[in-house]
Chain A
Amino acid sequence: MTTDRPETRVGHILYDGARFCGRGVFDELMSELPSGDELAATALGMRLDPGGREVWQRCAIALLSPDARVWPLKTVRVIASLGNPTAAFFGGQLVSSSPAMGPGAARGTAEMLTAIAETAMDLDDVERVSAATLDVLARSPRLGGFGVPFRAEDERMLALRASLAGHAAEQGRFYRLHLKVGSIVAAHRGVQPNLVLTLAALLLDLGCAPRRAGLAVALLMRPSFAAHAVEAADRDGPLLRELPPERLDYRGKAPRRIAETR
């Protein structure tokens, strides 16, 4: 092992205090009272100005899809039915690593938008953006940030975009790009953009590195996961710890003996 000391900019415990990302915890931060959201953004390497904090908050609200029947949240409830909300909160969050939805999709979507931007270079040139987008489409059978099941448009995306009307975020480089990309993909593949595309664009404009977009979305979604974890830990034991036989449909093999099959 090298004798060089690896660097960390996260923090340090002192005998008489602590430091977090360059700030004193019990003096500076306790005095300034940054919100939990600001601290989360700082942890991801982002500095939020007042406009950025507002965007972050709007993203968190748009992500509140707290229905107990949403599959990652249902996963949380099933685990929580065993009584431990902490285990359920973190176990359910691991579902978010999936590239198919939510935080996992956010990383891929952010990387896609970044790739399109780097290829097109001039994001006001519609032809260049279109060519770059189609190039990505050709190489990607599955795109993050697209697909709206059960309804024509993603109401969360529409609400988030509407809430940003007149906000400086609308002039963000990736925000403007994502509108174009959404239209191009919808026209060529017949699939509508979803909230993840807008989130990825906003996070990139806030300075989030594409590889961290997934964790950023996971942090933004924690209220929904926490709420289901605590409620289900208190109440869902009788419901979910073991489903009753009448709610199960066994489709496997019929009874048999080893002696018969060997």
Chain B
Amino acid sequence: MSAIAAPASAGRVGPFDVEPWPERLACHVVDPGPIRRVHGYGVSFDLALHAGPLEVAWLAFQGELPGPGARAALSTALVLLAPIHAGEAPAHAAILARIAGAPAHLLPAIAAVALGELSRIEHARLAPLRRWLDTREGPIPEVARAIDPSPEEERAHREIASASARWLGDRALPASPALDRVALAHALLHLLGLDELTVHTLSVGARLPAVLAEARCVEAAAVRAYPARLPDYAYLEDGALP
């Protein structure tokens, strides 16, 4: 680093003018050169031909391409997270944003804010599950268990748990009790060793298509098609403020 002497304005200087700052922005993942590479792998002539988007996402975060087990576990986790229905806040917000006329290129950003908050809530809720996965002591936390799972859900859990033994070896999921869908996804992501930022990023990314596809089903400015009294807010004037 070197001290960058910036022109002072009428002799007035502050830390940004005087303190030594780096002169260049560091790049670690994508080579900014004329041939774009992700952690060294050429995009156009290598990754685009021999890897899929999920592998490139893993590569970006982890620095290496995933092996077959990690790829399968990651794919399963993200598919489990994908379905967000219209009544869930991120999709509902995207629908409202579409109706309110948000431009198409900003709808993903609006949805991502809500999806990020949902991911935050889920991540916090499942902290006991992550602790259990690290220690395997005691019963699986109730907060992660499916509530009254159907036979199909129980069978699905057993199959995924069985597959996790092939993907993750001795870190496999137990065959029972059945976890709820989101908990199962987060369990796989945790067992893959992904940090919180990676989990939030992949979770948001996995859910954007369903959320925005739902928003696309309504027409921009179609206010009459939206249930405006859902819920039916009652405005009060009782002297109290919000």
CB within 8 Å for A251 and B26 given contacts A5-B231, A6-B233, A9-B241 = yes
Residues of B within 8 A of A256 (CB): 40-41
Q: How far is the CB of B103 from chain A (nearest CB, A)?
A: 9
Q: Does B138 lie at the interface of the complex (its beta carbon under 8 Å from any beta carbon of A)?
A: no
Q: Does B27 lie at the interface of the complex (its beta carbon under 8 Å from any beta carbon of A)?
A: yes
Residues of A within 8 A of B46 (CB): 257-258
Q: Does A139 lie at the interface of the complex (its beta carbon under 8 Å from any beta carbon of B)?
A: no
On whether the beta carbons of A249 and B26 are closer than 8 Å, the reply is: yes
B-contacting 9-mer, from A41-49, A107-115, A160-168: A41-49
Within 8 A of B (CB), among A1-50: 1, 5-12, 19, 21-22, 42-47
Chain B residues at the A interface, C-beta cutoff of 8 Å:
14-16, 19, 22-33, 35, 37, 39-42, 46-47, 50-51, 63-65, 106, 109, 113, 231-242
- Describe A's contact surface by its main secondary structure: loop
On whether the beta carbons of B109 and A42 are closer than 8 Å, the reply is: no
CB within 8 Å for A150 and B15 given contacts A8-B233, A11-B235 = yes
Interface centre among B29, B106, B241 (most CB of A within 10 A): B241
Distance of A260 Cα from B236 Cα, bound (Å):
69
CB within 8 Å for A7 and B241 given contacts A248-B24, A251-B26, A256-B40 = no
On whether the beta carbons of B109 and A91 are closer than 8 Å, the reply is: yes
Q: How far is the CB of B8 from chain A (nearest CB, A)?
A: 13
Q: How far is the CB of A17 from chain B (nearest CB, A)?
A: 13
13 chain-A/chain-B pairs, Cβ below 8 angstroms: A6-B233, A8-B235, A8-B242, A21-B241, A22-B241, A44-B242, A45-B241, A47-B241, A87-B106, A91-B109, A250-B31, A250-B32, A258-B50
On whether the beta carbons of A1 and B25 are closer than 8 Å, the reply is: no
10 A-B pairs closest in CB distance: A253-B40, A150-B15, A12-B235, A5-B234, A249-B24, A256-B40, A45-B241, A69-B16, A22-B237, A8-B233
Residues of B within 8 A of A67 (CB): 14, 16
Beyond known contacts A6-B233, A22-B237, A251-B26: 5 more, CB 8 A cutoff: A5-B234, A43-B242, A243-B25, A250-B27, A250-B33
Residues of A within 8 A of B19 (CB): 150
CB-CB nearest in chain B for A212: B242
Q: How far is the CB of B236 from chain A (nearest CB, A)?
A: 5
CB-CB nearest in chain B for A69: B16
Distance of A67 Cα from B15 Cα, bound (Å):
11
Q: Does A138 lie at the interface of the complex (its beta carbon under 8 Å from any beta carbon of B)?
A: no
Residues of B within 8 A of A42 (CB): 241
CB within 8 Å for A251 and B27 given contacts A44-B242, A151-B15, A258-B51 = yes
Residues of A within 8 A of B27 (CB): 248-252
